[in-house]
Structure 1
Amino acid sequence: MLEEPEQTNCVVCCCTLTNKILMLVFMILLIVAILFGNSVTLAVTVGTKHFRTTPQGYLKASLAVADLAVGIFVVPFSVYAEVSIMIPNYTPERTMNNSLTTTFHPCNFIGPMFAGCTLVSITTIFLLTIERSIAVLKPLHKESVITRKRTSILIVLSWVGSFFLAVFPTLYSNAIFLEYNSCSRMCNYAVKSDGYSTQAWNILLLFPAFDFTILGATVVINILSLSSIRQHSKRRKHLAEADCKTVTAPTFSDIKAAKTIGTLTLAFTASFTPIAVFVVGNVVGNEWCNFSFFAFWILTTNSCWNVIIYSVRDQKFRHRAHQLLVPS
């Protein structure tokens, strides 16, 4: 079912038995962290009226589901694959290349699942940023512009569009297939060595191009929102000194939420950047085996960071999570 492709250069992360065991322990701990953290996020979001009835709560729930899918499908498959490869006298079926077999390879499901969930996370963070920016920049129009129905439609479009992009490369080009990569220890897109390889790599460049376009827009909107918050803070201080009041400023909770989403954006941008660098490096002919392992798994660990950011930045979330985990 799985085989480890030949490598001319042994990589640091997979050469020795000790390193392989440490890698498996890391993967298992990551599964626990992803499942636990995002289960708490869903429990707080669904079980608390403050989060359940708001568009922001819908978006946070969507983000948690995407991260949960990574912990349920993607990382466990890597654990299974590594354990299978480590079993003595194990002779897996050669299914690394879709053109060599008619049997359905698990990577045909796991690869698009990871890519799709990553794209869902990026677009959801973008939608969260839009939602918070409207609350900060146009507080009087927040209720009329940001509705639960519109948010639900955008979430559905986000999921459908993300998974369409995830399967698009293999549907568009026969030169692109999915394999279990011995460097990244994940199911990755690969390109056949033929005359169409250049075109295929250009297709794969659509992923970092799309992701950085969305992330770039998200960062810009966050900067505008945070700049507006700073101006509101100065104005509020000035009005307080003049013993005046204003009704057009965003609420304190909106400001806190905007800062939380800003932190979330920075964390995701930092975790995704190595993947983009790796893909571009592959296009120009670099192998970067060790780097691919760290790039893909840095991105994967981002799936358990959301609950940590919420807990640190959002007092209501932290209080509700504490109630669920430590009932009185």
Structure 2
Amino acid sequence: MLEKQTNCSVCCCTSLNKIPMVVFMILLMFGILFGNLLTLAVVLGTKHFHTPQGYLKASLAMADLAVGIFVIPLSVYAEITLMWTDTAPSWILRNSQHTAFHPCSFLGPVFAGCTLVSITTVFFLTIERCVAVMKPLHKDAVITKKRTSMLIVFSWTGSFFLALSPVIFSQQIALEYNACSRMCNYAFAANDFPPHVWHILLLFPAFDFTLLTGTVVTNFISFTKIRHHSKKRRRLAKAGCQSTSGPSFSEIKAAKTIGALTLVFSISFTPVAVFVVGNVTGNQWCSFSFFAFWILAASSCWNVTIYSVRDQKFRVRARQLLTLSKIKNSP
């Protein structure tokens, strides 16, 4: 329970440190809202992006947007309240098992579920790009809009079931506003708990690392094929011939964009997974938990940056939406 926690993260122990922390939270919240609303506007409002890959990008943006709408505002409210009144609301001092209608009962699973949706969606994006690179002539037959929509529904359903599983299958696990991470986290309701309790919490890092490993391996296969195809094109170009097989330049560029997205998300997810493993073995790692969870939260605004840098069509369409120019004539 939070009332038993005596430590605080290094950035939040003094009033001087709390001010930049709250400013960071507010800026991050607006960055997530702006970036993902723009992504949804571009993807859903432009016919060119009505593809399986576009659907997956929209699903990823919706998961990230939920973090900015629900998760971060509670942390902002809690921290501003603590700074302004110097007293904590009752729900902050107790966990979900001791407070009726505890906000973390909703926001904890939302953050965990959206995180798992993001990991799963990035994995599906790498699979889609791998098929496009390895079997470009069969891509449209294998990766269809209907199958992609089914995968998206499966991703959201499975991710939120996994996010709720700790509180469904164990009475020893509660949700609380953590003094270290400054977020709603899963916590042990008592000091003594059977081994199956921490086995449940280890589902999260096991799921994360399994999908991240699969994502990295899939990207490696795709880039190996791209490298081989690039060498073949150069040899044919020197011989005065032109290659008509293999992935197009647009497919290769899209694969590199998803590769960059994979790298950013892998860096963002790994610290939290490491923290959960350390936490269930008895390590609190208070300062590390703050940076781990907020690095993860910050990943929710990276996708629009990567698309803007790597995808010229996305960049042009986003500029048109922001400047309200040539929208009617856009494809």
Task: Give the TM-score of the pair, scaled to structure 1.
Answer: 0.95
Does the C-alpha gap of structure 1 residues 218 and 186 become closer, same or farther in structure 2, counting only changes over 3 Å? same
Q: In the TM superposition, what are the counterparts of 1:286-297 in structure 2 within 5 Å?
A: 286-297=283-294
User: 1:91 offset after TM fit, Å?
Assistant: 5.6
Other structure's SS at 2:48 match: helix
The Cα RMSD (Å) is 1.6
86-95 vs 213-222, which moves further: 86-95
Of 208, 213, 222, the match for 1:211? 208
Of 311, 317, 324, the match for 2:314? 317
Other structure's SS at 2:13 match: coil
| Counterpart-to-counterpart distance in 2, 1:131 and 1:267 | 18
User: 1:225 offset after TM fit, Å?
Assistant: 0.2
Identity over the aligned pairs, expressed in percent? 67
User: Counterpart of 2:44?
Assistant: 46
Please tell me whether the aligned partners of residues 5 and 181 of structure 1 are also in contact (alpha carbons under 8 angstroms).
no
Of 264, 269, 277, the match for 1:267? 264
* 1:257-295 Cα deviation digits (max 9, x unpaired): 100001100100001111111111112211110110000
| Counterpart-to-counterpart distance in 2, 1:89 and 1:246 | 69
User: Counterpart of 2:118?
Assistant: 121
| Counterpart-to-counterpart distance in 2, 1:302 and 1:98 | 27
Matched, 1:58 2:62: no
| Counterpart-to-counterpart distance in 2, 1:47 and 1:11 | 42
User: Counterpart of 1:237?
Assistant: 234
| Counterpart-to-counterpart distance in 1, 2:207 and 2:303 | 22
Matched, 1:29 2:27: yes
**Count, aligned residues:** 324
Please tell me whether the aligned partners of residues 7 and 180 of structure 2 are also in contact (alpha carbons under 8 angstroms).
no
* 1:240-273 Cα deviation digits (max 9, x unpaired): 2222333321111110010000110010000111
Please tell me whether the aligned partners of residues 9 and 290 of structure 2 are also in contact (alpha carbons under 8 angstroms).
no
Please tell me whether the aligned partners of residues 59 and 152 of structure 2 are also in contact (alpha carbons under 8 angstroms).
yes
User: Counterpart of 1:281?
Assistant: 278
Please tell me whether the aligned partners of residues 137 and 250 of structure 1 are also in contact (alpha carbons under 8 angstroms).
yes
| Counterpart-to-counterpart distance in 1, 2:97 and 2:156 | 29
Please tell me whether the aligned partners of residues 191 and 197 of structure 1 are also in contact (alpha carbons under 8 angstroms).
no
Other structure's SS at 1:179 match: strand
Please tell me whether the aligned partners of residues 96 and 178 of structure 1 are also in contact (alpha carbons under 8 angstroms).
no
Please tell me whether the aligned partners of residues 32 and 68 of structure 2 are also in contact (alpha carbons under 8 angstroms).
yes
| Counterpart-to-counterpart distance in 2, 1:201 and 1:256 | 42
Other structure's SS at 1:295 match: helix
Task: Give the TM-score of the pair, scaled to structure 2.
Answer: 0.94
User: Counterpart of 1:78?
Assistant: 75
Gaps of 5+ in 2: 326-331
Please tell me whether the aligned partners of residues 4 and 85 of structure 1 are also in contact (alpha carbons under 8 angstroms).
no
Gaps of 5+ in 1: none
